[in-house]
Chain A
């Protein structure tokens, strides 16, 4: 029994681990998303969460600050992304890199991987130098590339998300692919997925051997929060008058810190337990959240004991409130919140005359007729396209593959003038002047339209949260192809020929 007690004492989760699990659950409270294989599209996604948590994860209820920052940089030409800057600044000033140590789901995953008992790579001068890499990634992939391509080419390019982010691959791509209902998504996987999958595995493996490898060397979000290390309200503080500069804190710290609380410190509080004078404590302004008990004689001090008791009571109250919040969030997102998914907006189908196929948007079904005003001032009637192969492309200005594949549709229109091509922009618009945006490009032969905000056309053709999507209808208006993912000209041509 004693052995069991000792085992539990050495293995029980710490307060920090509980906080990490709590945040991972709270950020991904939409658990039904994993079952349905769909992402949450409700209004809470206006809000960025402090940690790195991909907003394409089926469970995610908030937006990823890093993804939002890249998209804000990419759309600077349209409007300044002051909201994201403000949010990041707010998190930085209040929490700083405490976010990394306590509130980041990616941090939790990395630490759990590091718990696998293997020989470990210790921190050294090499790892300290490598930790500068995240600033390069922040400058190039998060700021420079999205800004340049956004301003110069009007092409949204969240380069970090696209080429590096392991959270996107793990939570977004794998999270969606894991559901059987998304089996269709496998058809769009190719080089990009293979590369990102290998990157994810390499980062995961690195985390097993080297503590928080992604966080220390690659994560630009940590680099951003690191800028606020001197002004953050919450964090680990050293009482200079009690510090003997023995260096025990630095030796214990698994991060590449030069001193406690610097830009590499994630405020995990591991140093508090080894400080021989109890000079280190976790503080929020003047309030001490956690203090070291190691200072000689402190344990016996009645004032210290009283304070410690007060802190414990306060901690219990905070945990009770937090648990209530988590439970409410779980109940709300899984049982009460309107799903906001496209299915809810699908109107009652009505049969058309030409085809006997049932109305719907799956292959073999016929798309319900619709009329939509086009950007050139005309109107597009789906019924009028009967007798022609029709290609409907769902796109948005803020979607890189969407913008990149539209020239193929234009080329198709030139090669096959009898084909009708309609490109419907999502009803959610970030670019104020869509016709102006289109006019600046050589996309002849395509009829452009913008969907209504409730997604009238998207719901009829089976558009969901994934962009781009291509739907091909044969001469009778029956769907021959309907899948999300980017298109090459060759594939498009083959599909159109098959529809003919």
Chain B
């Protein structure tokens, strides 16, 4: 087991190293190219095929080592552990299934979870609001200097998004804790009291109705899709797709 873990960590280190070297190589080539341009040679290319190949060639031994380790792991059957995780919500649902009258503790925990869920959503919405407001102000997007616009966009949006995600993560972790407490309470109650089984008949009926409704919606959406495609063929938007697909905008694929 320990040998296996060492192997996994070596592989991980190699992957990170390769990525860092590949990124650093590109950044370095860019920096060197820009220095040359700054020196007055405006026409000189930032990247050249020769320079890129030279950088890549220096990484070939590391690539080969990584490939060798990969082959060895396949032969020795060293694999990732199954990504099984605990799912507190399912555990809670399973523990609570069939409990007709939840205990006070369980009810309280349910309330806490509801409150936390709302708190998380409301807090996230509040955090996202300034970002949304920034997006809604046209003057922020008046300039066609896209690099500047994107830089400002990220600067104004990312902190708020990060705050929203942070808040959601915190409330979710608290909710999970509450779920675990509820599960415990449910298990205790099951031990003490008899439970009644859920009524599957009702669920089945509900499912049948759901299926029927879904079939209808699916049919309508299919018709709408067909209508949109036909309209697109007639109004020339299909041709637009073709034109964009056969003429590459060099910036769109990251060339420059």
Contact = CB atoms under 8 A, between A and B. Distances in A.
A180 B50 CA distance: 11
Contacts of A185: 255
A398 B245 CA distance: 11
A43 interface: yes
B192 interface: no
A92 B218 CA distance: 10
State the main secondary structure of chain A at its contact with B. helix
Contact of A246 (B27, B78, B90): B90
B238 interface: yes
A51 interface: no
A10 interface: yes
Nearest to A124: B85
30 contacts: A11-B74, A46-B245, A71-B241, A83-B232, A83-B240, A84-B241, A86-B229, A86-B230, A90-B225, A117-B78, A124-B85, A132-B165, A155-B144, A158-B249, A173-B255, A177-B255, A187-B45, A192-B254, A192-B256, A196-B254, A197-B22, A197-B23, A198-B23, A233-B218, A240-B200, A246-B94, A399-B249, A467-B249, A494-B42, A498-B43
State the main secondary structure of chain B at its contact with A. helix
Nearest to B165: A129
Nearest to A274: B84
B83 A399 contact: no
B246 A39 contact: yes
A289 interface: no
Contacts of A136: 161
- Residue from the set B49, B227, B230 with the largest chain A CB neighbour count within 10 Å: B49
B30 A211 contact: no
Interface residues of A, number: 137
A83 B222 CA distance: 14
Given A189-B255, A202-B19, A79 B237 contact: yes
Interface string B130-166: 0000010010011010100010010001000100010
Interface residues of B, number: 101
Contacts of B29: 194
Contact of B250 (A54, A75, A144, A188): A188
A244 B241 contact: no
Contact of A55 (B22, B146, B228, B245): B245
A157 B200 CA distance: 53
A400 B49 contact: no
Contacts of B47: 186-187, 189-190, 193
